[in-house]
Amino acid sequence: MTGAERLRQYIEKFSELTTEEVDEFVGAFEEVRVKKRQFLVQPNFTATHRHYVVDGAFRAYVVGEKGTDHTISFAIDDWWITDYNSYIFQRPATMFVVALEDSVIMRLSFAQEQQLKKGRHNFETAFRKMAERGLAFYQRRIISNLTMNAEERYDHFLQTYPEIVQRVPQYAMASYLGMTTEFLSKIRNHKVKRKS
């Protein structure tokens, strides 16, 4: 299945666009192959595209003052990723978005998105629904970080995103969960011992 076909399936599932509008929507995107460790977004450069992941895995992260990186989000097949603050407001990015494996994306430029939405309610609604899904994801993440201890966050992540666990490096998962790689290893080892 091509990237355009996958994107078509996705947008038909989550929007109420007509067949002609779906054609126009998908036609505004460009399919791009991305190599492992290739960056889609880097700090101080404006994010000019939003990216739909056809096949692959990505990590969005920031680097703190002491050089420690903090994973903000992951994106795998059928997810979206960019530095939204940079993309939406067209200002310099503050995060990195990097491929964790060889990937295929469909990308949409900011200019193309604005053209699609210009005076067209159905396109505005489709993009709003995508934004709402993303906002709900970030809210769940914030709540789990504020209300759960480290082991509970790990368990919640395993239950909620089992497909991600298999595709991201342990250091990236630890960073996402707000712990060191060593502490994540201790949690995993403790769980293995309890099962034995």
Would residue 60 count as lying in a domain?
yes
How large a percentage of the chain has pLDDT more than 90? 90
Residue-wise pLDDT tens digits, 134-156? 999 999 999 999 999 999 999 99
Would residue 190 count as lying in a domain?
no
- DSSP-derived letter for residue 102 is S
Residue 85: which domain range? 3-120
Would residue 175 count as lying in a domain?
no
- Compute φ and ψ for 178, nearest 5 degrees: 75, 40
Averaged pLDDT score across all residues of the chain: 94
CATH of the domain at 46: 2.60.120.10
Inform me whether the pLDDT recorded for 119 exceeds 90.
no
Give residue 25's Cα distance to chain centre. Answer: 20
Would residue 13 count as lying in a domain?
yes
> Measuring CA to CA, which residue among 103, 128, 85 is closest to residue 36?
103
> Measuring CA to CA, which residue among 22, 4, 26 is closest to residue 12?
22
Half-sphere exposure of 131 (CA within 13 A, CB side): 11
Q: What pTM was estimated for this model as a whole? A: 0.92
